[in-house]
């Protein structure tokens, strides 16, 4: 109930009767101690009398299901009562409900309207949320510069999430000139407040030497801080450090332990890395079936490397029954994301009729695309295939490759 704690100063500054203020504080003390039944008993009469703070606090209880059955519709009703009285925190939270579609029909434009009402009152959380809407183009036209302006307003108030988000804008150069040093500064501000995502990203900056001198040990320290909070990306990154021996002694078993923590949270990169360990027998006994399981979990989330690797498993019959058609399906999904090795593998499939009809034109096309995307063997196999084709067929394959790449892999001769 951290937001309840945050408005205690507001409670004391408003012109409540001494009894009402006592009831609010009694409810606050009860909520902070986990006694939500008492909090409900103290706040409900005040909320029914129109007290905005009590309405907001009750809404939080219904939103989170603390002391009452979780009820998004009731949370929305109470947030709205408080928001209509100008309570900025309630306006922000009601905006969240419209953004996520909890208790109301999802409506980005209404979320934006509510965030703006709260942001104009200086509410840092709302400024950050409104910035996110401009960043993503949800409910408003995408505008990175406006997102930066709003992130900065919140960040300057010490909002860790906004500091992290503004750091991302400086790292990527969205809405501002790219500036790794400024990104590091902002990540550090948020990381020092315990923000796990910022700790992870600051770790990335130390690992890669962007905006700071490269320092693997410091990267490990920061990854560990975030990983210990349960951040899946940091657990995966710390696993990578143990796997490669960067900043720590190489330890495949510890890498596997960390990958598993992240993979169990659904992190696709960690699932892929865990699959690799089972496939190679690094830190765990080699187990092709277990590798295929983790490749599939990552592949189902759209991870291109995992889709390609799962295709290889089907082609070779490792951990799964050999199935060339299934292999081609996974290669195609990865190839459509620009994965060069999957494009090369798809070329092999067409060259030899594995899982698809044998087709020299399609084989040439995919070899050509894979070569353009940096695959070091694809050009040789493209040229070998060209020796079996007529000039007209080669010209057709080259035109198809251009169309496929120019269409973002949407028009690839299928």
The position carrying tokens 């409104």 is: 130
Tokens matching residue 402: 């251009």
User: What long-range pairs does 22-30 form, CB within 8 A, spacing at least 24?
Assistant: 24/51, 24/53, 24/54, 27/54, 27/57, 28/4, 28/57
Which residues, in sequence order, are CB contacts of 341 under 8 Å at separation 6+? 308, 334, 370, 375
Structure tokens at 160: 């860790």
pLDDT of residue 78: 98
Tens of pLDDT, residue by residue over 98-107, are 999 999 999 9
**How confident is the model at residue 4, as a pLDDT?**
37
Distance between CA 266 and CA 346 in Å, rounded?
28
* pLDDT score for 18: 56
Give the residue extent of every domain in the chain: 1-121
CA pair distance 172, 94, nearest whole angstrom? 31
CA 334 to chain centre: 20
Continuous H helices in 281-316: 288-300, 304-316
Q: Give CA 215 to chain center in angstroms.
A: 25
- pLDDT, tens digit, 9 for 90 and up, residues 236-247: 999 999 999 999
Expressed in angstroms, the distance from the first to the final Cα of the chain is 55
Beta-strand runs (E) in 162-294: none
Which residue ranges of the chain lie beneath pLDDT 70?
1-22
pLDDT of residue 19: 54
Alpha helices (H) along 336-359? 340-352
Residue 84 backbone phi and psi in degrees, to 5: -65, -15
Count of beta carbons in the 10 Å neighbourhood of residue 192: 13
In 10 A of CB 215, how many CB atoms? 16
SS3 call for 185 = helix
- pLDDT tens figures, 264-302: 999 999 999 999 999 999 999 999 999 999 999 999 999
Q: Say what the pTM is.
A: 0.88
Interacting residues of 90 by C-beta distance below 8 A, sequence separation 6+: 52, 55, 56, 59, 79, 80, 81, 82, 83
CATH of domain 1-121: 1.25.40.10
pLDDT at 397: 97
pLDDT in the model for residue 6: 38
């Amino acid at each position: 109930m951290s937001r309840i704690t945050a408005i205690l100063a507001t409670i004391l500054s408003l012109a409540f009767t001494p009894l009402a203020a006592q009831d609010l504080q009694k409810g606050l003390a009860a909520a902070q101690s986990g006694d939500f039944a008492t909090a409900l008993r103290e706040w409900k009469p005040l909320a029914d009398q129109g007290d905005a703070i009590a309405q907001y606090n009750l809404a939080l209880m219904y939103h989170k299901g603390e002391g009452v059955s979780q009820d998004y519709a009731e949370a929305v009703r109470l947030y709205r009562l408080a928001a209509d009285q100008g309570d900025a925190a309630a306006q922000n939270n009601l905006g969240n409900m419209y953004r996520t579609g909890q208790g109301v029909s999802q409506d980005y434009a209404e979320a934006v309207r509510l965030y703006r009402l709260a942001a104009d009152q200086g509410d840092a959380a709302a400024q950050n949320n409104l910035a996110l809407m401009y960043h993503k183009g949800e409910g408003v036209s995408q505008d990175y510069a406006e997102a930066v302006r709003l992130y900065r307003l919140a960040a300057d108030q010490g909002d860790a999430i906004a500091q992290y988000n503004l750091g991302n804008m400086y790292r990527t150069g969205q809405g501002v000139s790219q500036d790794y040093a400024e990104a590091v500064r902002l990540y550090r501000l948020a990381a020092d407040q315990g923000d796990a995502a910022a700790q992870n990203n600051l770790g990335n900056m130390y690992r890669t030497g962007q905006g700071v001198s490269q320092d693997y040990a410091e990267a490990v320290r920061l990854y560990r801080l975030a990983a210990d909070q349960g951040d899946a990306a940091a657990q995966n990154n710390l696993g990578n450090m143990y796997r490669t021996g960067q900043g720590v002694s190489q330890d495949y078993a510890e890498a596997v332990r960390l990958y598993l923590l992240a993979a169990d949270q659904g992190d696709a990169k960690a699932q892929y890395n865990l699959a690799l360990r089972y496939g190679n027998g690094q830190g765990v006994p080699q187990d092709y079936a277990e590798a295929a399981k983790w490749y599939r979990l990552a592949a189902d989330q759209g991870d291109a490397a995992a889709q390609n690797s799962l295709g290889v498993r089907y082609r070779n019959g490792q951990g799964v029954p050999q199935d060339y058609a299934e292999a081609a399906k996974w290669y195609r999904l990865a190839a459509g994301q620009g994965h060069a090795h999957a494009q090369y593998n798809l070329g092999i499939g067409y060259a030899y009729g594995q899982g698809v009809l044998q087709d020299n034109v399609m084989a040439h096309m995919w070899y050509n695309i894979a070569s353009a995307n940096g695959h070091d063997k694809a050009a040789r196999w493209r040229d070998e295939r060209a020796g079996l084709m007529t000039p007209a067929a080669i010209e057709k394959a080259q035109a198809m490759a251009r169309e496929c790449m120019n269409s973002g892999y949407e028009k690839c001769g299928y």
